């Protein structure tokens, strides 16, 4: 694939993003104009009714009847979206009820929304004061659908060398990373936030295979000894266990297993040097964007687990049982990537943090925080097809937002990896 093809793709992607942003800005401007018209079109009777409700809500707030006050403030805002006094009162109510990020969102609106009345400038100042001890505001875009900036006539697949993995071009996009409260199997480390991947990239179509890793080892002599193997008696540490002996039969088309973070990084560095292209582990945001493929549901195929979608323990009709399966055995995700869920866990570039507070929103890897652990995603053959109460192998580990951290030196018979390549 010629570099000019990728340059043209990136240029078309930039045009799509600029067009999208212009449309969003225009819609926002039209919405604000509508809100201003709403405020300025209120009759004298409407204003008196709103003032009376504001006074009542303020009394309820002083009496610490926050739930009642919140309801009244929301009633006012339905009639006058730009009533900053009501929005400030709402922020105070939410803060007292322990809804910190929602309160911060209300105060942010006080500070940033247009002024319908010049007399509300002091309310803005008070909103700024109210935000001082609050967490980051809830992102109002988290309920918006994913956006995929897919250019026409884009390159789809390529391979830099016979020994290199087949790469699939993943379009740029914007999506809500994490999971909503109430999603089955959700963990506390999946707080939602909006992320934009403003560039196309290439991701290996399959997990890196045993055959591809064998070629690397044959050239470099890389040692990857010592692996935790899962057998009928549970997990056992095998000092001489490695990717050649993961505890089940494999051929060259299976994903390589018994791989730790350092093995994966070393392979990426070798492949980069061999091809002259930059191969690397995906960032967590890049991986979730690629995993979702433009979807917003718990799994990339829908809201609930479905048999026949991925390689897990107990999968009806699964060839291989408690073992890996060749890439392509199960259906691809919407971007044409195989085994994004199940088969083997994959290592990602990011340090593991138990909260997304402070995480990058531009697709870059988060290389700060608890770097004693690295992120792993996707679930594996080790996970189970049917949920069992208290069993940590539950199928929810295959959700698009599911995330875990592991010691980078850890090898396990369900740990593998895949790569991205910069375009």
Beta strand residue intervals within 20-163, DSSP E: 147-149, 157-158
Given pLDDT bands bounded at 50, 70 and 90, which one contains residue 180? very high
Distance between first and last Cα of the chain: 11
pLDDT, tens digit (0-9, with 9 covering 90-100), for 371-423: 999 999 999 998 887 787 877 788 899 999 999 999 999 999 999 999 999 99
Flag whether 21 is in a domain: no
Which of 81, 103, 138 is a domain's end point? 138
Same domain, 176 and 119: no
Which of 73, 104, 138 is a domain's end point? 138
Flag whether 181 is in a domain: yes
Same domain, 118 and 267: no
pLDDT at position 318, please? 59
Domain that holds residue 384: 147-421
pLDDT at position 231, please? 66
Same domain, 321 and 410: yes
Flag whether 199 is in a domain: yes
Q: Which of 236, 261, 209, 217 is closest to 413 using CA atoms?
A: 236
Same domain, 106 and 224: no
Which of 111, 138, 165 is a domain's end point? 138
Flag whether 213 is in a domain: yes
pLDDT at position 1, please? 65
Helix (H) or strand (E) holding 286: helix 284-292
Same domain, 303 and 228: yes
Same domain, 254 and 371: yes
Q: Which residues fall within 8 angstroms of residue 95, CB to CB, at 6 or more apart?
A: 103, 130, 134
Q: Which comes out higher in pLDDT, residue 129 or 294?
A: 294
The CATH number covering residue 310 comes to 3.90.1580.10
pLDDT at position 232, please? 61
Same domain, 310 and 169: yes
pLDDT, tens digit (0-9, with 9 covering 90-100), for 247-302: 999 999 999 999 999 999 999 999 999 999 999 999 999 999 999 999 999 999 99
Same domain, 134 and 154: no
- The pTM of the full predicted model, rounded to 2 decimals, is 0.91
Same domain, 86 and 174: no
SS (H, E, C) 119-140: HHHHHHHHHHHHCCCCCCCCCH
Sign of the CA dihedral 298, 300, 306, 308? negative
Find how far residue 106's CA is from the centre of its chain: 25
Separation of alpha carbons 118 and 50, rounded Å: 17
* Percent of the chain residues past pLDDT 70, beyond the cut: 97
CB 189 within 8 A of CB 403: yes
CB 203 within 8 A of CB 170: yes
Q: What is the DSSP-derived secondary structure letter of residue 299?
A: B
Same domain, 186 and 289: yes
Flag whether 202 is in a domain: yes
Separation of alpha carbons 73 and 58, rounded Å: 9
Into how many domains does the chain fold? 2
């Amino acid at each position: 694939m010629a570099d000019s093809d990728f340059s043209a793709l990136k240029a078309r992607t930039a045009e799509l993003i600029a067009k999208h942003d212009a449309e969003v800005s225009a819609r926002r401007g039209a919405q604000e104009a509508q809100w201003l018209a709403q405020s300025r079109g209120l009759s004298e009777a409407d204003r008196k009714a709103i003032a009376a409700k504001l006074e009542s809500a303020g009394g309820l707030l002083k009496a610490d009847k926050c739930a009642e006050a919140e309801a009244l403030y929301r009633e006012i805002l339905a009639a006058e979206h730009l009533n900053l006094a009501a929005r400030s009162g709402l922020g105070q109510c939410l803060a007292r009820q322990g809804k910190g990020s929602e309160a911060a969102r209300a105060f942010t609106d006080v500070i940033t929304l247009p002024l319908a009345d010049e007399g509300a400038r002091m309310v803005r100042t008070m909103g700024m004061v109210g935000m001082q001890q609050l967490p980051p505001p809830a992102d109002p875009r988290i309920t918006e659908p994913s956006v995929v900036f897919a250019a026409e006539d884009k390159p789809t697949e390529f391979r830099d060398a016979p020994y290199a993995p087949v790469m699939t071009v993943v379009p740029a996009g914007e999506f809500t990373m994490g999971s909503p409260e109430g999603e089955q199997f959700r963990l506390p480390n999946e707080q939602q936030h909006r992320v934009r991947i403003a560039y196309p990239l290439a991701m290996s179509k399959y997990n890196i295979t045993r055959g591809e890793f064998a070629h690397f080892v044959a050239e470099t002599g890389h040692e990857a000894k010592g692996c935790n193997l899962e057998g009928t008696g549970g997990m056992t540490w095998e000092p001489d266990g490695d990717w050649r002996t993961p505890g089940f039969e494999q051929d060259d088309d299976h994903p390589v297993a018994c791989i730790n973070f350092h093995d994966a990084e070393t392979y990426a560095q070798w492949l980069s040097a061999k091809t002259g292209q930059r191969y690397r582990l995906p960032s967590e945001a890049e991986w979730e964007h690629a995993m979702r493929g433009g979807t917003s549901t718990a799994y990339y195929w829908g809201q609930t687990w479905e048999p026949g979608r991925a390689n897990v323990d107990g999968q009806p009709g699964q060839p291989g049982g408690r073992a890996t399966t060749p890439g392509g055995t199960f259906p691809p995700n919407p971007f044409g990537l195989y085994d994004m869920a199940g088969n083997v866990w994959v290592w990602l570039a990011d340090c593991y943090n138990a909260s997304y507070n402070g995480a990058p929103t531009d697709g870059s890897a988060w290389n700060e925080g608890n770097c004693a652990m690295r992120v792993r995603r996707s679930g594996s053959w080790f996970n189970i097809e049917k949920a069992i109460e208290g069993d940590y192998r539950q199928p929810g580990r295959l959700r698009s937002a599911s995330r875990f951290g592991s010691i980078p030196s850890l090898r396990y018979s369900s740990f593998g990896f895949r790569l991205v390549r910069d375009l």
